[in-house]
Chains A and B, each alone.
Chain A
């Protein structure tokens, strides 16, 4: 019963956050100066009919929401219009049908572009995160166990340095080095125009393209996982039950594995969840440097091309993915530690 209530509360919370993001995403593009669709309408060469046609096509002839005709500059409107006939609810309805607008740049539906990109981003982030977590945890355990020795100081300085590296710069340096020294591809997902004789040949090509971006990702995120693992373990290793385990004559490896690590996993799950936002920031930079066809690269391209529907769609998809991943982490946490469900 309690678990059900916990589940309902979490789901409701995620739903509310998504509503908040959708609303924010709608109003940001209308409140801020330089409204995308209207910017194009100021072109003096357009005839009155053409302006009107564009306004109708992008739905700009409708009021933004009840009582408000336009937001920037502010213009009061009719309060008695059918709410479903306002820009806000039309936008909402379109979202429910999976329509994210039409790209200014390619004139194709934004949703078509973003669908494939989402999976490319998940592939890249997934590979990088798994490696960063494994290496970060291992290094953190080593540093905490050998606390105050040279190994600890070395691991600590390495992590602080890794944390300080701008992701895009590390990507550039690795790209420069990897492409000139080892002939690795300079970007993209697959070599264009290469006829793949087999599935294996294609996977090999994909792997070669994934190598450098994943390496960048791993180095950048490893530092933080290591730091948190180290400080959590230092707290745990000072607890009395570790002394008890030691007094029982257990070997160090066993104490670390069964007594310390098990307790340290909970803060790690929290950190991974909190890190999801930064994960997205990393994806934007890495995909830009390596021309990886993902959501982050889409954000960069949309900014350069002033393609606002694309930018709006990519932002929404990124934010919603982070919220859902957060929800998953929350539920996982409650499975690992049943105590939180009581709150």
Chain B
């Protein structure tokens, strides 16, 4: 071997990023901040929730369950929640968690200067109001709300609220400005080089809330890796090359790359459905699309198994319900969706008085969502029954703008995850004159959604959600297609990882030597 080549190989070996029990994970986007629930997006939440924890967190089924709390007691009038803290929980700086920390964190969140994402969810602006909080002893924290609310704990556990994380007061500087997260999570904040990477290291003093198996954000959460480096890699082909070469040990991957990566001997790929919903939106205020028969014709024109197979690279399963397929509320009624019936579609078009008016479908070409491929199949299926549909491709920011203004006829779109069905329905329901982005403007349905937010009985809630599902199917203000998919490719040396709700949970994950 010639000398320069030998030198190159030696230097390349020196530049190798992987060390024992440390892994490099590719992520598509940098974090916006390390301030949980403040300047955030999904990637930021994902990272933050490895570092911090709340009193309650979601379990695998999407239910809010105790996390830093050992138990939560609800008063008979349904307004007072008493959280008893787990014993011996430590912050990353070694301090022991007490109710004083919970009180400090809550007061900080409710201070408008903090700009917490969810302040308005608890101060009455969104209907729910926390009237008082207190810390009667070191292990007890009490919250009183203005009226019973079935979603109070769920809202506390929301990932975009960063689980209402309990932080140590040393997370902020003496002048009150943000410094870095000192939480109770299994990993500690490491280093952040903007636009390039961010890291976290194992918290040796971590007390796992559960033993045995992984369960959402609760369950067993041991930090078994020494360090995790999240490397920002934008391009899917670059991610693929990194995985194949071994420079990366794990990454979310596109459904279109799953088959190829499965064939790489050093890699394995895990695929699981999540609570994201891929959908077709229809603007009911539009002069053409306001016709219910036309909307029903559109729903009947779609061959759902074929459409979903094409849009998801044969990985997805049709689901016409706003409730995601692995939810505890996804029952027999929710399994009943639209029926593919081209003859009926043509008949409905006649009844609608449709005369070939052009209908525009908005779509974008972001590789992480099936907006464009789904729109192409949608267009073909509509044309097959005589609907004059055309696609207009926009960049994502423009499409989102059109969505928020309600300025469209139809869109191939995706809704982010909502665990509780009440919030899943509320996401697209409401008065369009006040909130133009709302898709379904039906006061009766809104009353049912509001009711479901107040009652806690699961059977009663199920009846409401079943009724709402039937109405969505009948009125067709939008068409739910299938749930999002988490496709994660990783080195075969990695074990213990489980994809869940697009979160790259690094606890219980190990890397073989």
Q: Do A and B come from one complex?
A: no
Binding site for B on A (CB under 8 A): none
